Structures are given as structure tokens and as C-alpha cells.
Amino acid sequence: MFGNWLKTTILMAGIVALFGVVGAAFGGANGMLLALALGGVMNVFAYWFSDKMVLRMYNAREVDAASAPQFYALVQELSQRAGLPMPRVYLIDEAQPNAFATGRNPENAAVAATTGILQLLSARELRGVMAHELAHVKHRDILTSTIAATVAGAISSLAQFGFLFGGRGSDGERTNPIVGLIVMILAPIAAMLIQMAISRAREFEADRGGAEISADPNALANALEKMEHYGKGLHLAAAEEHPATAQMMIINPFSGGGMQNLFSTHPATEMRIARLRAMA
């Protein structure tokens, strides 16, 4: 638990520092102070409301025992096995098979799955996936991933705003447009690198924890294999629009290649499957 709080603190500090760098590039000392203050406010806001923001981005709808009885019962059974409070349960009307967990702690957690994953996987495989998501909740790393998802996107927007509208340094001179362009390109990359440093190991741990909760490592391995194969070419619109949220998903949601996959926050699915098979 201490390790996750340390990661969260490092993430928050790194993001505030990035806000300061972007602010200084476009507004000198005054811009840096303003951006640092904005970064601090964003962290507080993200702590309390980032889960609601992410669920809204994905148009997730909350379900219960009446509206999705089998899925809800599956999550309920796994929560009891894991010794966790029952999270809020959401469905996302998207064909791509994927899922994520969000919230600031186990008492305020939510799990979400696409309708595509319910159609693709068997009940046993879906159980493995949701056990993985509940492992994120149990490890208390959902706060880290949710803050990263919301604030990293804000850094990109701030850098783009500064470049488009310019700024003035402490001496009153306009910001060099070349410097502004470099900052606009590098700031989002730096935010992604912070996410990568924290989240890749997190997925391996959630795979292991999920396999322990479900007592069925092969179920999750089979699910990952199916999702990797059948998810290719299926777009997840919200992930494309908000790429900073991609690291919350159980598998990389980007259907194409390019820069988004180059900076993937997920370890190779083949490696994850191999580790789960070894556990079994």
C-alpha cells in the first residue's frame, strides 16, 4: 500500500512540474507560477472527480442486479472472494472487448466493461478479466491510473493552448515560436513517459492478483488471447479521443500503429499470457 501511495505522490509531483515547465515556456516566471497553481488545483480535482470524468468520457451506464443480473452477480462473487466492498458496475456500448477499473479507493471504486467483451468471452474468461480489474482495486492503484488519465490530457491541452495563443516571458518579449512548438510536442510525450513508468509493472501485478482472486490463471490468459486477436481493427472511440485514458484498459485499446502504440503503457500481451500460463 505504501508503494502505491509513493507512486501516486511521484506522479502528482511529476505532473505539477510539467505544468510548471509548460507555463514557464510560454509565460516566464509568472506563467510558471500560474501553471504550478493550476497543476495543484488539477491534482485536487482529479483526486475527487477523475473517476466520474473518465466514466463520462466513455458514456458508461451504471447497471445493477436487475438490469445486468449475470454480470453484476459475477462481480459481486469476485468482490466477496477478494474481501472488497461491492464496486459500482458499468457497461460501455462499444464493440471492442475491453474493461477498466477506476475510483480513489476500494470504498469508492467502479468497474466497467464494454458490451463487446461480454459478447466475446465465455463466463469463465469474463470472470478472469473482472478479477484482474478487482485486483487493481485491491492494490489501490486505480487512483494512480485515473489521475494520470485525466491530468495528462490537461497537460497536452495546456501546451497546445500556449502554442496557439503565444505568451510573453519575464522580460516582456514574446515566446520563441520554435520553443513553443518543441514544448507542445514534448510535454505530452513526457506525460506519457510518466504513465509508462508506473503502469506497465502495474498490469503484471494485476494479472497475478486477478489469477489469485479467481483461482484460475488460464481463464485470464485465454481472455487476453481472445481480446488481442479479436480486438484488432475494432475502434474504441473514447480512447482515440482521450489517449491518456488508454493505460486504464486491460489491453491496449488502439487499433492502429504509430505513435500511440509506440508509447503503449501496456506490456506485450504475449508476455502476460506466458506468465499466467506459468502460474497455472
DSSP code for 121:
S
% of residues, the chain, pLDDT over 70: 72
Q: Which residue has the higher pLDDT, 219 or 159?
A: 219
Cα distance between residue 219 and residue 165, in whole Å: 52
| Whether residue 133 lies in the annotated active site | yes
pLDDT-based confidence at 179, cuts 50/70/90?
A: low
**What does the pLDDT read at residue 128?**
98
Q: Judge whether residue 155 has pLDDT over 90.
A: no
The alpha-helical segments, DSSP class H, found in 83-216 are: 115-120, 123-138, 142-165, 177-214
Cα distance between residue 49 and residue 104, in whole Å: 9
Q: Judge whether residue 1 has pLDDT over 70.
A: no
Q: Judge whether residue 93 has pLDDT over 60.
A: yes
User: What global pTM score does this model have?
Assistant: 0.79
Task: Provide the 3-class DSSP secondary structure of residue 260.
Answer: helix
For the segment 145-151, the average pLDDT, to the nearest whole number, is 69
Q: Which residue has the higher pLDDT, 78 or 141?
A: 78
Please count the structural domains in the chain. Answer: 1
Q: Judge whether residue 147 has pLDDT over 90.
A: no
**What does the pLDDT read at residue 94?**
96
Question: Lowest mean pLDDT: which of 34-38, 99-103, 177-181, 243-247?
Answer: 177-181
**What does the pLDDT read at residue 227?**
96
User: Which entry of 125, 133, 173, 270 is annotated as an active-site residue?
Assistant: 133
**What does the pLDDT read at residue 213?**
98
**What does the pLDDT read at residue 195?**
63
Cα distance between residue 49 and residue 52, in whole Å: 5
For the segment 221-232, the average pLDDT, to the nearest whole number, is 93
Question: Residue 141 is part of which domain span?
Answer: 2-279
